[in-house]
Structure 1
Amino acid sequence: MAAQPNASTSPIIERDASAPFAYLSTPLAALDLQPGLVSCAQFCQHVQSLAQYLPEHPYAINLCENRYLFTVVFCAVLVRSQTNLLPPNKANNTLLSLAEQHPSYVIHDGSLEYSLTNNTPKVDLSQLVPGLAPFTSTSLPRVTNHHIAAICFTSGSTGQSQPIVKTWGTLSAANHHNARFMLSDLSQTTYQIATVPGQHMWGLETTVLMPLVADTVMSDAKPFYPSDIAGLAAQLPKPRLLVSAPIHLRALVNAGLALPACERILCATAPLPQVLASQVEHSLQGKVAEVYGCSEMGSMAVRFTAESQTWRLFDAFALNQLQTGHSQATASHIDQSVVLGDFLELVDEHHFRLTGRTDDVVNIAGKRGSLAEINRILLQYEGLEDGVAFLPPNKKRLAALVILKPGHTTQGLADYFREHIDPAFVPRPMVAVPQLPRSENGKLSHKAVLDCYQRTRPT
């Protein structure tokens, strides 16, 4: 199915037509599909069929919740030489703002209600009855490398979410780098389970784009609860691949369920404690590969966290230490360099260690401390389900929002902290909350944390 090399274009899919591409856990009326396997040839037919149906607008706000439909839409948009808009969230004001800035249409699968009140055209794939017209071709056209395939957005974890332009050339090249360094030692067709959404960079690269080039079968589902993850895994053949985030892996381990084996677990979006990585490997009988990256550069390094704290940089990337102490990243497939938000210790040209974030140093009572290190210690407390330590505005002490396991108290957590850090950095207050305002990717934005603190702090 792969086309001949061409410097100015790249193929959308590079898999054998008969190879399995996706596993569907639910019927899809728009494509006249029942649960089960979908081949690469069928996927190409679905993309071509949908491409004929799309409105004549240069941008598509892709809101499909079903991962397979999201991928079909993403590629159909490319076939039509349009651009995917992948908003940072699905709040109505966010969608309205996006639609006002770009001549676009909204396409979704009916799983959520969108109350956009402007004249933005809307395509609901769940209402396509009896479905799309069949298309017989089992190949897809090549896409020019300079075509803007998607506009993604930063997570907003440290401030306002910012747009990131991704050309097809960049995404296509990244796809090959990612498959090589994340999956190179897996020799068989791997069946994928993902707890993260495909709309954001981590899920987009690994669960939507990677199956276009790697011998990986995506699943259309996005299981949330540990029992759902275990149930979906039990439906899939071995070997299995789990794509997740630390918060989801922590919940999976804490659930204490008997879990089907996963040969590889890919994890990103937040630091993964080494203890948790070891627990996950024991529970899932597989190796945890933690991936480092950022929205601007995509995935760029990997480490097997249970064994080592040193990162292996992908070959396409290079790091340069600036006089300020910051590190600048460049890549052969990305036009612009990026100054990273982490302090790095460069071991050699292919390896580095993280030593802290550039924005996480706090001064308390004349002492300097690292928020990243304080949060690492917090997350290792055995009585914790989830938590975050932070410095509220105009305050001289840290605070924390925590979810404690039954039988544990904030006093017990404070005692634990005093055994591990200077008393000046023990958060006060520690506010017990029912849940943290994490995004679907498991991330916490600074604004969401402060808003939650304002609502729940003691008066």
Structure 2
Amino acid sequence: MYIPVSKLLASDRSGAAAVARIARQDVTFAEFKAEVADLRARIKKRGVTQVVLATESSYAFATGMLAAFDAGCRVTVPPNALPGMLARFVTPECPLLSDIKDEAHSDDHILIDGAKAAEASFRELDPDACSLDFYTSGSTGEPKRVPKSLAQIENELTVLDQVFGARLGAAATLGTVSHQHIFGLYFKCLLPLSEGRLFFPETFEIWEELLAFAPPGACIVSSPAHLTRIPPLDPLPTSAQAPVIFTAGGPLPFEAAQTSAWMFGPLPTEIYGSTETGGIAHRQQERATTPFRPLPGMETRVDEQGSLWVKSNYTDNGDWDKTNDIAELFPDGSFLLAGRANQFVKIEGKRISLAEIEKFLTASDLVKDAAVLVLTSPRDTLAAVAELTEEGWRRHAEIGAFRLGRFLRKELSPNLENAALPRRWRFVDRLPVNSQGKRQQTALHELFAGGEGAD
């Protein structure tokens, strides 16, 4: 039964109900409440009103979030738990709440260690009074604050339960994405918690490990980057197939959607949205032109430049927000994405689509994936980072990086005008992505900071 997060600890859910599976042992709801109660007492003892919540475990995150809320604290959720990132947020007045034994912050660290209180009584939380500050990477590389109230989060989780709850049933959930980002937090942790479904707190980087732990009929929460890198495994038997595969964070290639369905059962359910707007729309790619359909309560429109605007119930102003996507809108409000607005650039006075260049590059037998960017010094120059196939690396060994870049330019030339042909190249084993599978633009640019490479 679905229970809003604010009412969960005060609910009559059975204490024997399983919450999460840790080290192959199920943690019960009664144990979960006892851990929250112990942590709440330690937070109150510190006398703080805000905490930084960063954990390796999704279960520890849920424990920390509810304990902090019940202790009257505002919660900061940094993009990751790396020491350099935490140093930006942690202070004596805003300590780190974490399951990571980080000595650098030992004086400002409240450890989530599984300790349990003897008494675990709770009242319902006021969802309007509970707040989280999410941080995204931002276009400048500096973290951008996105505040959310628990009420806004609950509104979205309620819609997700209404749309997907019947398909999910009692399915356990495993994921390849981090709960430090809003998609992973909602789909891998909070939605299962509210619906009373078991979830696995790990972030599985390797498909073989995820499948080894997955119970039959488990829900999978993943990213396009992971779904495009499924190894050649045997497909799951019908009895073990996933009821739902959720994915978000970027476009999912049609071929990857079909491969995922062949491997795991259903076509992946792609969620379109952002940290700011929450989930806006969803689709399953039965064909390459399957449009996204808005979730209940969401509205969409496009402006004269083709930019997609969305109206979400999960923002403070409830007003129209302009996205960074170009879209084709249909009369029923569904839409097809045509690329990012910032993927259209002016080179030599011509309007160039970076997404189009990437599409033709990945059509080559030598290229598995590619990212095209603009270098602005000393003048605007197109550059490409190519993740090579085995055949691509063989060719690289034979002719070298410089000649391989020239060869790929020649392959592109029948489809692209000269201004759209990359002039600088880097060849990598894998494109740099974050834990959500999103490309790291700063890392891509840093590949061209030195003098070496195919220029």
Pairwise same-fold verdict (TM > 0.5) = yes
Structure 1 residues 20 and 314, CA gap change in structure 2 (3 angstroms): same
Q: CA offset at residue 303 of structure 1?
A: 0.7
Q: CA offset at residue 208 of structure 1?
A: 2.0
Could you tell me which residue of structure 2 aligns to residue 400 of structure 1?
Answer: 384
Q: CA offset at residue 418 of structure 1?
A: 3.8
> How many Å separate the matches in 1 of 2:218 and 2:409?
40
> How many Å separate the matches in 2 of 1:16 and 1:382?
54
1:103 aligns with 2:93: yes
Further displaced range: 35-44 or 77-86 = 35-44
Q: Aligned to 1:256, which of 210, 232, 237?
A: 232
Could you tell me which residue of structure 2 aligns to residue 32 of structure 1?
Answer: none
Could you tell me which residue of structure 2 aligns to residue 38 of structure 1?
Answer: 27
Structure 1 residues 19 and 339, CA gap change in structure 2 (3 angstroms): same
Q: CA offset at residue 164 of structure 1?
A: 0.3
Aligned partners of 1:318 and 1:349 also within 8 Å? no
Structure 1 residues 347 and 15, CA gap change in structure 2 (3 angstroms): farther
Q: CA offset at residue 398 of structure 1?
A: 1.8
Q: Aligned to 1:357, which of 324, 340, 343?
A: 340
Aligned partners of 1:309 and 1:353 also within 8 Å? yes
Structure 1 residues 333 and 291, CA gap change in structure 2 (3 angstroms): closer
Structure 2: gaps (5+ residues): 396-403
Q: Aligned to 1:244, which of 222, 243, 250?
A: 222
Structure 1 residues 200 and 106, CA gap change in structure 2 (3 angstroms): same
Q: CA offset at residue 245 of structure 1?
A: 0.8
Aligned partners of 1:51 and 1:77 also within 8 Å? yes
> How many Å separate the matches in 1 of 2:104 and 2:324?
36
Structure 1 residues 2 and 371, CA gap change in structure 2 (3 angstroms): closer
Q: CA offset at residue 204 of structure 1?
A: 1.3
1:9-68, CA deviations, whole angstroms, 9 ceiling, x for partnerless residues? 9424678435432222x2xxxxxxxx3223334323332232122232112211210121
**How does the TM-score come out when normalised to structure 1?**
0.84
Q: Give the alignment of 1:239-318 within 5 angstroms.
A: 239-252=217-230, 255-260=231-236, 261-307=241-287, 308-318=289-299
Q: Give the alignment of 1:288-437 within 5 angstroms.
A: 288-307=268-287, 308-322=289-303, 325-336=306-317, 337=319, 338-379=321-362, 381-394=364-377, 395-408=379-392, 409=395, 410=404, 413-414=408-409, 416-418=411-413, 420-437=415-432
Aligned partners of 2:299 and 2:311 also within 8 Å? yes
Could you tell me which residue of structure 2 aligns to residue 30 of structure 1?
Answer: none
> How many Å separate the matches in 2 of 1:44 and 1:375?
49
> How many Å separate the matches in 2 of 1:302 and 1:15?
33
Could you tell me which residue of structure 2 aligns to residue 48 of structure 1?
Answer: 37
Q: Aligned to 2:85, which of 73, 77, 94?
A: 94
* CA RMSD after TM alignment: 2.9
Structure 1 residues 136 and 142, CA gap change in structure 2 (3 angstroms): closer
> How many Å separate the matches in 1 of 2:301 and 2:107?
45
Q: CA offset at residue 243 of structure 1?
A: 0.7
1:21 aligns with 2:19: yes
Structure 1 residues 452 and 115, CA gap change in structure 2 (3 angstroms): farther
1:76-105, CA deviations, whole angstroms, 9 ceiling, x for partnerless residues? 1112121221112334443233235x9311
Structure 1 residues 71 and 93, CA gap change in structure 2 (3 angstroms): same
1:450 aligns with 2:440: no
Aligned partners of 1:275 and 1:306 also within 8 Å? no
Q: Aligned to 1:214, which of 192, 195, 203?
A: 195
Q: Aligned to 2:109, which of 84, 100, 122?
A: 122
> How many Å separate the matches in 1 of 2:12 and 2:342?
42
> How many Å separate the matches in 2 of 1:159 and 1:228?
32
Question: SS of 2:195's equivalent?
Answer: coil
Aligned partners of 2:301 and 2:333 also within 8 Å? no
Further displaced range: 293-302 or 361-370 = 361-370
Structure 1 residues 91 and 219, CA gap change in structure 2 (3 angstroms): closer
Structure 1 residues 89 and 78, CA gap change in structure 2 (3 angstroms): same
> How many Å separate the matches in 2 of 1:142 and 1:420?
61
1:409-445, CA deviations, whole angstroms, 9 ceiling, x for partnerless residues? 4466545534554453232333112343321111123
Further displaced range: 356-365 or 315-324 = 315-324
Question: SS of 1:175's equivalent?
Answer: helix
1:251-278, CA deviations, whole angstroms, 9 ceiling, x for partnerless residues? 22xx212354323211111111111111
Question: SS of 2:229's equivalent?
Answer: helix
Aligned partners of 1:15 and 1:214 also within 8 Å? no
Aligned partners of 1:315 and 1:350 also within 8 Å? no
Aligned partners of 2:78 and 2:85 also within 8 Å? yes
1:146 aligns with 2:128: yes
Question: SS of 1:186's equivalent?
Answer: helix
Further displaced range: 394-403 or 62-71 = 394-403
Aligned-pair identity in percent equals 22
> How many Å separate the matches in 2 of 1:266 and 1:326?
25
> How many Å separate the matches in 2 of 1:58 and 1:311?
41
Question: SS of 2:285's equivalent?
Answer: coil
* Aligned residue type for 2:118: P
Question: SS of 2:299's equivalent?
Answer: strand
> How many Å separate the matches in 2 of 1:161 and 1:97?
10
Aligned partners of 1:23 and 1:218 also within 8 Å? yes
> How many Å separate the matches in 1 of 2:286 and 2:294?
18
**How does the TM-score come out when normalised to structure 2?**
0.85
> How many Å separate the matches in 1 of 2:250 and 2:417?
24
* Aligned residue type for 1:448: A
Could you tell me which residue of structure 1 aligns to residue 150 of structure 2?
Answer: 168
Could you tell me which residue of structure 2 aligns to residue 188 of structure 1?
Answer: 169
| Larger RCO (CA within 8 A; separation ≥ 6) | 1
Could you tell me which residue of structure 1 aligns to residue 399 of structure 2?
Answer: none
Structure 1 residues 15 and 226, CA gap change in structure 2 (3 angstroms): farther
> How many Å separate the matches in 2 of 1:377 and 1:369?
13
Aligned partners of 1:378 and 1:388 also within 8 Å? no
Question: SS of 2:268's equivalent?
Answer: strand
Work out the number of aligned pairs and report it.
431
Structure 1: gaps (5+ residues): 27-34
> How many Å separate the matches in 2 of 1:387 and 1:366?
24
> How many Å separate the matches in 2 of 1:416 and 1:265?
36
